[in-house]
Structure 1
Amino acid sequence: MFRRPLLFALLALLPLLAQASGFSRLAEMTDKGFRVGAEARLLGSGETLGAIEPERQLSPASVSKIYLAAAALDRWGPQHHFTSRLVSTVEPDAEGSLPGDLVFDGGGDPALTSEDLWRLVQRLHQAGVRHVDGRLLVSQWRYGPVKCLTTDRCQAHSRVANAYSALLSSVGVNFGSWCVSVAPAASPGQPARINSCESQVPIVDIDNRVETKPDDSGTELNAERVLRDTGDVMLLRGQISTNALPRRVYRASSDPALQTAQTLLAMLEQAGITVRDGAEVVTTEPPESARELAAVDGESLQELLLRTLNYSNNFMADVLALNLVETPRADLEQAGAALEAFATGIPGHGPVTLRSGSGLTPENRTSAAGVNTLLESLYHRPALFPSFVAALQSPSNGVMRFIRQGSPTFQHHVMLKTGTLNRPVAVRAAGGYFRTRSGQWGVFSVLVNGTATTPWLNWRQVLDPLAADLEEMIDAH
């Protein structure tokens, strides 16, 4: 009498247990107090190979970037280029003097570099301009300065010791970060030689307290960018050996638009183009009467996505997301809304919350089933899928060293994007595609979130069981 309800309950659990068995090792994370959502299934037959609460809403961290990649490809296509221009409402005279302001109209290129600015300056020089009898105006009318939504970015305005929390602007250059080169002096005891990576002379102020040490003494550098009354300053401490190679150090700037203005002004001067009244950042759009004097196209979108996802570049991801907003003065909440609208438009996706394209915002939420639905939708779009899957990493040759593990099966049959957050709770997430032994395509997603009582989580705790579970699925089919 009492056994029959128990038998029915066990029978009802059998499908769930069968699904979870596909993630038998990963399921042990739930016993340790972690919140887990996971799903793996074949794309041809739709067969579910493993699942652990696949509808559970969890933080995806940088796995959010695959939503950004899919939305960008859907909007623009793989061969889209963002264009940066130098324009003016006046034309240069016969002597090469521009009797007015020169305007840099940033096109929202997330990978705009010093090399691009140098090409732009050379094209201006070829157009005959030698002197600007006015100002250099850097126009971030599309968006910028963008309100910060995370602690790291908000603190980065005044002081920062990393490059990943760079602030955002439609005219940002070098991923919103200053770069300085640290090289040893000729002899021990002297200060190291420090220069800007992009210029013959320093563009950002430098407080150099790096000492040159004898051969083979080792190199130890500590670098911070701080905002002072005079502007950004790179604080550099430590030592470098006389026989050491130069080291490059990147730190987020306090104002990416101002950084671009200072960098572009330095390059104009190096090219022999003088600017009478200096540089200024504005938020007004150049008038329709402005004439293009020089322009440069950035890399194609498929190349941008390769860099964005392979290196998990937060600056690039959020700038691309801001470009999805069709109205000027965009902010991250509008960018997140554009991504949400794209995701919810995918049939069967389910609930999703996206506050940024980078995944830096801990409020982002999705499910393993939702991520797989997104992955499947791209698989069925042959014009977009090659560019999309190429932006993911294969563990065997991953840019991120920590994923270069697992068996040869895992390393050579899987393409994935990972995500990491450590605050306010630990997050390790992964999603992507796999190919079975028989050549079938499959999708998988794993979201592991810690709690206040599970503060410690490293990648080996997640990747080791995930790799072993996926290997069994790949070998079994």
Structure 2
Amino acid sequence: MLSRCLSLCLLLLLPLTALGHGFSHLEELADDGFLIGAEARLLGNGEPGETLGSLSPERQLSPASVSKIYTAAAALERFGPQHRFTTQLLGSAEPDAEGVLQGDLILDGGGDPALTTEDLWRLVQRLHQAGVREVAGRLVVSQWRFGPVACLTTDRCEGQRRVDNAYSALLSSAAVNYGNWCVTVAPARTAGAPAQVTPCDGQADLVRIDNRIETRPPNSGTELSALRVTDGDGDVMRVSGQISTNARPRELYRTSSDPAEQAGRTLMAMLEQAGIAVAGGHVTTTLEPPAGASRLAAVDGKPLQELLLRTLNYSNNFMADTLTLDLATTPRPSLSQGGDAIEAFAGGLPGHGPLRLDSGSGLTPENRTSAAGVNVLLEHMFRQPALFPSFVAALQSPSNGVMRFIRRGPATFQDHVMLKTGTLNQPVSVRAAAGYFRTRTGRWGVFSVLVNGTGSTPYLSWSQVLDRLSVDLSAMIEAH
């Protein structure tokens, strides 16, 4: 009788053990040497909810771009969803009766992560409305809040000389267009002729262009590449490839070597087009504008909740790290000092545990957190009724998110999950995902999965992770 009772108790415990484990498919990656931290749990009414799945949830691992949800949460807590960053034009005096501004015109960079040429056009228009027709001095681009910011990653350090991507933009509080040059490529009318390559933001030659693109016959296909290199005279966009005569124009983006200088060139071209002459050219500075400088024009950026939608949906590293620097409490902060501010925010969340963020974007491979810690953050935001709508709206639903690679797995996973992903390939493979799920009965839950490779593990694709995660998470959702 005792033996039968013991056997029955063991059988009753087996389903609970399996349910508590939860990530049986995801765990298969451990057989190839990958390090995994994962946790999924329901959210209770003010109390810790039931754990549905768990794999080394306290293990410290790289979260890659899942770091951005820490940045988003800290920014919402600090600034609020409707906060707008302000960029302004200052002068040492009011324009005289002839519209001449004696002295310098100062672009005061406000650390807006999404300042674009459209915003600069509004500034120029408002400057014109203020009566300015000529600047006797210089255009001074002031990045006194932060910039140039020392690079912490290989991509950003190499980007000071040459770069073939748009994601590793350098940082400045006066940066425009996400720190990227943009050129438009259009076919010539006849095959064999060079393609037409022009700046995206007007007719002025903002950046030198080395055009090696050939126009090919109709339906020949379009293959374009771009490399931004920097020499003694500044930046050059070296573009090559081919474009068909019947192809639509394409835009190519590459990071600039000096975002403050880029902002100065762009604004100078707009002032000239508006008929506002600047006698002394333009310069950049890290000095704060004089205390007596008066505001001549200003433009407020988009609300923070819109910035976060772009930051997280498109995993925009420039925007995330600019917000990180905006959060710093020290003058002219480094990126790691901005990370310290986010660490301090997370350190105030009961039960979070250790966190290291050298950047808010996740580009720095030294970032470390745990799946359990990420879930503590997610639950904290869930319980902030004034902030949660803006926070969760910045995550993606697999079924209709902008990142097509997440459209995998069962319909339950596709339609009942909102998530943020993170990817790194160097120095080791990292695939991470975290967010919220809803059960069939409408209960909320949180989940976090961090998968890290080692020096001896093979390449890790997203399909290897999502195919397993989607099955495991769908089973948990269906069971509740």
Alpha-carbon deviation of 1:14? 7.0
Aligned-partner Cα distance in 1 for 2:479–2:203:
59
Aligned position for 1:387: 390
Alpha-carbon contact 1:20-1:27 (below 8 Å) kept? no
Aligned-partner Cα distance in 1 for 2:329–2:455:
39
Paired residues for 1:15-414 under 5 Å: 17-18=17-18, 21-44=21-44, 46-414=49-417
Aligned-partner Cα distance in 2 for 1:434–1:460:
20
TM superposition score normalised by structure 1: 0.96
Alpha-carbon deviation of 1:327? 2.9
Map Cα deviations across residues 412-439 of structure 1 (whole Å, 9 max, x no partner). Answer: 1000000000000000000000000000
Alpha-carbon deviation of 1:119? 0.7
Alpha-carbon contact 2:357-2:367 (below 8 Å) kept? yes
Alpha-carbon contact 2:87-2:298 (below 8 Å) kept? yes
Alpha-carbon deviation of 1:25? 0.6
Aligned-partner Cα distance in 1 for 2:357–2:458:
24
The amino acid of 1:388's aligned partner reads F
Aligned-partner Cα distance in 2 for 1:269–1:20:
66
Are residue 431 (structure 1) and residue 434 (structure 2) matched? yes
Alpha-carbon contact 1:403-1:463 (below 8 Å) kept? yes
Aligned-partner Cα distance in 1 for 2:105–2:125:
15
The amino acid of 2:312's aligned partner reads L
Alpha-carbon deviation of 1:328? 2.3
Alpha-carbon deviation of 1:208? 0.6
The 3-state SS of whatever aligns with 2:128 is helix
What residue ranges of structure 1 are gaps of 5+ in the alignment?
Answer: 1-6
Root-mean-square deviation (Å) = 1.5
The amino acid of 1:138's aligned partner reads V
User: How many residues are aligned here?
Assistant: 468
Map Cα deviations across residues 285-335 of structure 1 (whole Å, 9 max, x no partner). Answer: 111211000000000000000000000000000000000112321111101
Alpha-carbon contact 1:119-1:296 (below 8 Å) kept? yes
The 3-state SS of whatever aligns with 1:399 is coil
The amino acid of 1:276's aligned partner reads A
Alpha-carbon contact 2:92-2:102 (below 8 Å) kept? no
The amino acid of 1:37's aligned partner reads G
Among 448, 455, 461, the alignment partner of 1:452 is 455
Aligned position for 1:3: none
Map Cα deviations across residues 93-136 of structure 1 (whole Å, 9 max, x no partner). Answer: 11111111000001000000011001111110111111100100
Aligned-partner Cα distance in 2 for 1:149–1:16:
45
Alpha-carbon contact 1:19-1:51 (below 8 Å) kept? no
Aligned position for 2:4: none
Q: 45-54 vs 359-368, which deviates more?
A: 45-54
Alpha-carbon deviation of 1:455? 3.1
Aligned-partner Cα distance in 2 for 1:419–1:20:
25
Aligned position for 1:470: 473
